[in-house]
Amino acid sequence: MTTIKLHNTRTRTKEDFVPIDPGNVRMYVCGPTVYDRAHLGNARPVVVFDVLYRLLRHVYGADHVTYVRNFTDVDDKINATALARKQAGAEGSLEQLVQERSDETIGWYLHDMGALGAMEPTEMPRATQYIAQMITMIENLISKGHAYAAEGHVLFAVDSWKEDYGRLSGRSVDDMIAGARVEVAPYKKNPMDFVLWKPSTDELPGWDSPWGRGRPGWHIECSAMSYELLGESFDIHGGGNDLMFPHHENEIAQSKCAHPHGEFARVWMHNEMLQVEGKKMSKSLGNFFTVHDLLEQGVPGEVIRFVFLQTHYRKPMDWTEKKAREAEVTLRKWRALTAGIEPAATAAPAVIDALADDLNTAGAITELHRLAADGDAARLLASAQVVGLLSNDMGSWADAGAVDKSYFAEEIKNWMLLRSEFKAQARIWMKSGEKEKGGLFFSWADQMRDKDLANFGFSVKDTNDGYEWELLPILSRVNVVRSSTGKVSESDSEKARENHWAQTLLRMAKHREGLQKHYDELIAEA
Ligand SMILES: Nc1ncnc2c1ncn2[C@@H]1O[C@H](COP(=O)(O)OP(=O)(O)OP(=O)(O)O)[C@@H](O)[C@H]1O
Ligand SMILES: [Zn+2]
């Protein structure tokens, strides 16, 4: 059996992975707070731990891995979104609006992550379904002297676990106090103490508890859900390295104190950040774009996945258009090479070895390139599918032979500018009573959009602040050239597409210039 090596944040070394129970390998990954669409950074841990999930299933058997990823559906940020909606006139109680927002966001999340080829975890618990278990755990911590109630809050007493607190992130409590921006509150015995339970207002979601109506803190959610679903000792705990402190440190403190005989998580894995110009992509910095945005722009989910896999998960990375274009070219080649072919019975050992070396996905991709260069399509297919690439359900984008939308953006803009000129002139004539001319110019303007551009292969819609456009299938689908053996001649089909797109662009520009000339002449006459 393949031995997987994983870098353990706790020990800061790469270790042989030895599951507690090979019949049920257990992994917990911190999931999203569901208040808004996931940005591309949020997708990184999803893809990273999806690859690990697939590898574990490959090595231990698909039925022998339990993967839990939660939804944090109780949080100030969700409440704030709901409040903003209510203030904007939305119907329903604040509590209903909170619920609606969570449900909606979870739907988006699963759709967007599915588009990146991420399998759904075995369990996706929502925090609000585990409130009773959180209360039990908090009571347990109080009874052992690790937590105390004060003014409707319950706090974890960091002093009660001082020697171990900070181990994961490598800080001592004193260092933390010195350098921390912790919330100082009169009810805290130590400024590092963190909230397990806090009071809720009447309008906001809240639950009855021994400390009054309230809601759980964020950290206790993961401790309670992982305990319920995976037990007091499990194999792997994952998340972004921005969660290492305080979130994971606090999870450890709670879980180890509540269940002192358990190990909690043996291996801690943290993915590095997706960055924008050297800074973490994040909602609070406002330097983000969503996965949905990218998909809407026509970037296939498989391309996004490929770009992620090219950087090791413990290295920071940037998203660039160039990486996306290169990924698209590679995937097109691989998809053409493997079209109509059955995957080999087993993946290439070199690919599995790379993955087993602390998820060396870039190394795995190098091996895939090698298989492609050797023309070993069946092996390529079987091996790529281990990392979630070249699966059947993700490939329609490549069949359609989609062109990079930006290729046409400038020309479409020119058309829409000319169209605005026609419309502006039409309005002038309508105002001055020359209804016939005005009507004619309006109909020309509409023809440009509904007939001419449609014939060239575009669907354009007016919006409040401009326009939106899409490629119609007639433009994006150019017949793939297949030889008698059913294999695609990659260079031929690519050339055919490129020619088609280049010619379309030329014809569009010519047509537009003709219209412009006609327009200028009519104006000069008038
Ligand atoms: N730029 C990033 N790169 C990689 N992972 C990230 C990035 N930003 C957030 N994550 C991860 O996304 C997951 C979901 O996090 P969470 O829902 O708390 O994010 P958020 O609060 O919406 O985002 P933000 O951090 O932008 O405010 C966590 O595992 C977190 O580590
Ligand atoms: Zn967590």
pLDDT tens-digit map of 7-24: 999 999 999 999 999 999
Identify the pLDDT of residue 220. 98
What is the position in ligand 1's atom list of the atom closest to the CA of 285?
26
Q: Which residue's alpha carbon is at the smallest distance from atom 13 of ligand 1?
A: 42
Which residue in 217, 226, 107, 76 sits closest to 156, CA to CA?
Answer: 217
Q: How confident is the model at residue 405 (pLDDT cuts 50, 70, 90)?
A: confident
DSSP strand E in 209-335: where?
Answer: 214-216, 233-240, 264-271, 274-276, 279-280, 317-318
Greater pLDDT, 180 or 508: 508
Query: Cα(42) to centroid of ligand 1, in Å?
Result: 5
Q: Which residues pair with 458 in a beta bridge?
A: 471
Q: What confidence tens digit (pLDDT) does each residue in 376-386 have?
A: 999 999 999 99
Distance, in Å, from the CA atom of 193 to the CA atom of 205, rounded to the nearest integer, reads 24
Count of beta carbons in the 10 Å neighbourhood of residue 220: 29
For residue 436, the surrounding DSSP H or E stretch is: helix 435-447
3-class DSSP assignment, residue 284: coil
Q: How far apart are CA 495 and CA 479, in angstroms?
A: 11
* 482 vs 347: which has the higher pLDDT: 347
Percent of the chain with pLDDT over 70: 92
Mean per-residue pLDDT for 51-71?
98
Is residue 473 pLDDT above 60, yes or no? no
Q: What is the mean pLDDT of the chain?
A: 91
- Ligand lying closest to the C-alpha of residue 265: 2
| pLDDT band of 306, cuts 50, 70, 90 | very high
Of residues 180 and 229, which shows the higher confidence score?
229
Instruction: Give phi and psi for 39, each to the nearest 5.
Output: -90, 175
pLDDT of residue 487: 45
Does the pLDDT at position 110 exceed 60? yes
Q: Range with the lowest mean pLDDT among 298-307, 350-359, 491-500?
A: 491-500
Indicate if the pLDDT at residue 488 is higher than 50.
no
Residue 400: predicted pLDDT: 54
- Residue 307 CA, ligand 2 centroid: distance in Å: 26
Residue 445 has pLDDT above 60, yes or no: yes
Q: If you measure from the C-alpha of residue 44 to the centroid of ligand 1, how many angstroms do you get, rounded to a whole number?
A: 9
Using most ligand atoms within 8 A of CB, pick from 29, 42, 102, 282 the residue to mutate for ligand 1. Answer: 42
Q: What is the value of ipTM here, to two decimals?
A: 0.97
**Statement: residue 452 has pLDDT above 50:** yes
Residue 474: per-residue pLDDT: 44
Top pLDDT among 294 and 125 is at: 125
pLDDT above 80 for 481: no
321-338 and 361-373 helices, crossing angle to 10°: 40
Split at pLDDT 50, 70, 90, the class of 403 is: low
Q: Within a 10 A sphere around the Cβ of 477, how many other Cβ atoms?
A: 16
Best mutation site among 77, 242, 307 for ligand 1 pocket (most ligand atoms within 8 Å of CB): 242
Give me the pLDDT at residue 484, please. 38
Element (DSSP H or E) covering residue 8: strand 5-8
Q: Which CATH class is domain 5-271?
A: alpha beta
- pLDDT (mean) for 25-50: 97
Tell me: pLDDT of 70 over 70: yes
Annotated binding site: 30, 222, 247, 251, 283
Ligand 1 atom showing the smallest separation from residue 240 Cα: 31
Measuring from atom 7 of ligand 1, which residue has the nearest CA? 41
Strand pairing class (233-240; 214-216):
unpaired
pLDDT at 354: 98
Question: Is pLDDT of 492 > 90?
Answer: no
Q: What's the rounded mean pLDDT across residues 351-364?
A: 98
Q: What ranges do the domains of the chain cover? A: 5-271, 276-400, 405-525
Burial class (CB in 10 A: 0-12, 13-18, 19+), 322: exposed
Q: How far is the CA of 316 from the centre of ligand 2 (A)?
A: 21
pLDDT of residue 320: 87
Q: Which ligand is nearest to the CA of 237?
A: 2
pTM for the whole structure: 0.79
Nearest-5° Cα angle at 98, 95 to 103: 125
pLDDT higher than 80, residue 404: no
Ligand 1, atom 28, lies closest to the CA of 240
3-state SS, one letter per residue, for 103-124: HHHHHHHHHHHHHCCCCCCCEC
